[in-house]
């Protein structure tokens, strides 16, 4: 992204419900954030010079944090928390952090959990709200998953807002991925269109770390740590048998950040296949022939593949979508397992292949220390934003600072690995894999 494009196309304006006029109940020692405090989106000299040259404003994000004046009266405020989509380490840490910040810092006592994702708003599902008290959330950070439950699939935005109005929720915290963020933005816009004074604050949850303008999402660090262990086990398996192959499939529907970072964390992988870089199976330069050369030279190989890699091999499946509107992915792990076995059997070469798919195990575990701390900060910043009357925004970490990001900007496109950037170049150097294309 060059400076000229950023100067022209980036709108970072955060929607506000009105002027905050209530004194914050936070301690006098709190360092309050001023509305004028900003973080440059691109602080590189080229980007800054491009904006200055064209006399355009340098794009920046509003800093997150507590404000001196807040919009909602804590004694009369009702809040809701909803978790949507797949599981991810750290969800319960975020829920706990939100409740603690609201209850102990802002003295908000009416906090409700909306069960089973967006279904919890819809009357026909008959899911009762959950009272989120400090005692209820006391130990939930020691559990994987989400104590509120989750679901996939869209629900009618009008019905969701009807439910919010019916119980008079002032702030709703949405914890979810790309689809959830889009739903949260639609809810915020519908509330504004109706003239309902309510705040929608999102905390991005995607283990794949693929949200644009967000440096890192919670759960990613835990996923990389656990994936490294799996790759190490696959390496042990591959070395324990003649012509051994350890094949590991990791999360990464559209972006291969987990596969790339986990491979770098242990450097036992010989091939890393991600959605961002195309590869061929057949041919002299294709993956199968390259794998054969590796086995003949070293006697073993470890292959790490992100779940969204190689989708061109599944043809019409790419036109189908799941209940959440995501394009269905073919199972590249099982596909590669079968093709590898067929390839070597046809050449009468015996291989010992061990296939490992730890995805559901990794996404269900408890967050590690780093992610748990991160979740606490995200929760605190989300509450500060909601109480100050912000809406239609998410909390993200950018240039090592917590900031407010318009949801519409973050969901414009997926964040992906730059195959010409340092991360992917480091992966290629570590594995030694060539570009596996015959063209």
Active site residues: 208
- Beta-strand relationship, 22-23 and 69-70: antiparallel
> Which three-class secondary structure state does DSSP give residue 303?
strand
Q: Are 3 and 52 in contact (CB under 8 A)?
A: no
CA dihedral 172→178→183→185, nearest 10 degrees, is 70
Residue with tokens 């090592």: 400
Tokens (6 digits) for 354: 């061990």
Scan for tokens 């986990």, then name that residue: 262
8-state DSSP, 17: S
Neighbours of 335 (CB within 10 A): 17
Burial of residue 162, with CB atoms counted within 10 A of its CB: 0-12 exposed, 13-18 middle, 19 or more buried: middle
Burial of 278 (0-12, 13-18, 19+ CB in 10 A): middle
Separation of alpha carbons 211 and 167, rounded Å: 31
Buried b / exposed e along 220-259 (16+ C-beta atoms within 10 A): bbbbbbbbbebbbbbbebbeeeebbbbbbbbbbbbbbbbb
Coil, strand or helix at 200: strand
Tokens representing 57 are 């404003």
């Amino acid at each position: 992204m060059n400076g000229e494009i950023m100067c022209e196309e980036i709108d970072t304006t955060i929607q506000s419900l009105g002027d905050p006029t209530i004194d914050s109940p936070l301690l006098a020692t709190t360092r309050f954030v001023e509305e004028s405090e900003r973080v440059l989106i691109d602080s590189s000299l080229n980007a800054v010079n491009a904006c200055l040259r064209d006399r355009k404003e340098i794009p920046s994000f509003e800093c997150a944090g507590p404000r001196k004046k807040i919009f909602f009266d804590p004694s009369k405020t009702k809040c809701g928390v909803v978790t949507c989509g797949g599981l991810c380490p750290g969800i319960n840490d975020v829920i706990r952090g939100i409740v603690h910040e609201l209850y102990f810092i802002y003295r908000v006592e009416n906090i409700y959990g909306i069960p089973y994702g967006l279904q919890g708003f819809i009357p026909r599902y008959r899911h009762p709200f959950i009272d989120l008290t400090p005692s209820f959330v006391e130990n939930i950070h020691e559990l994987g998953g989400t104590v509120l439950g989750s679901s996939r699939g869209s629900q009618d935005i009008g019905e969701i807002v009807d439910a919010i109005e019916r119980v008079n929720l002032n702030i709703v915290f949405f914890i979810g991925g790309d689809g959830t963020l889009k739903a949260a933005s639609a809810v915020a816009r519908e509330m504004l269109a109706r003239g309902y004074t309510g705040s929608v604050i999102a905390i991005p949850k995607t283990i794949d770390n693929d949200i644009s303008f967000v440096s890192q999402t919670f759960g990613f660090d835990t996923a990389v740590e656990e994936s490294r262990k799996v790759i190490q086990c696959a390496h042990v398996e591959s070395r324990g048998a003649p012509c051994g192959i350890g094949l590991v499939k990791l999360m990464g529907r559209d972006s291969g950040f987990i596969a790339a970072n986990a491979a770098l964390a242990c450097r036992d992988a010989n091939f890393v296949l991600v959605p961002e870089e195309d590869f061929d199976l057949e041919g002299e330069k294709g993956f199968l022939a390259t794998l054969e050369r590796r086995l003949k030279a070293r006697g073993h190989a470890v292959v790490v593949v992100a779940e969204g890699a190689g989708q061109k091999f599944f043809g019409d499946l790419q036109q189908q979508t799941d209940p959440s509107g995501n394009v269905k992915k073919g199972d590249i792990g099982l596909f590669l397992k079968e093709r590898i076995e067929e390839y070597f059997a046809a050449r009468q070469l015996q291989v010992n292949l061990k296939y490992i798919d730890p995805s559901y195990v990794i996404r269900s575990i408890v967050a590690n220390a780093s992610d748990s701390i991160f979740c606490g900060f995200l929760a605190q910043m989300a509450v500060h934003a909601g109480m100050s009357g912000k809406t239609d925004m998410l909390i993200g970490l950018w240039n090592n600072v917590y900031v407010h990001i318009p949801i519409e900007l973050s969901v414009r496109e997926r964040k992906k690995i730059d195959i010409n950037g340092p991360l992917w170049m480091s992966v290629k150097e570590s594995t030694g894999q060539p570009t596996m294309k015959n063209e």
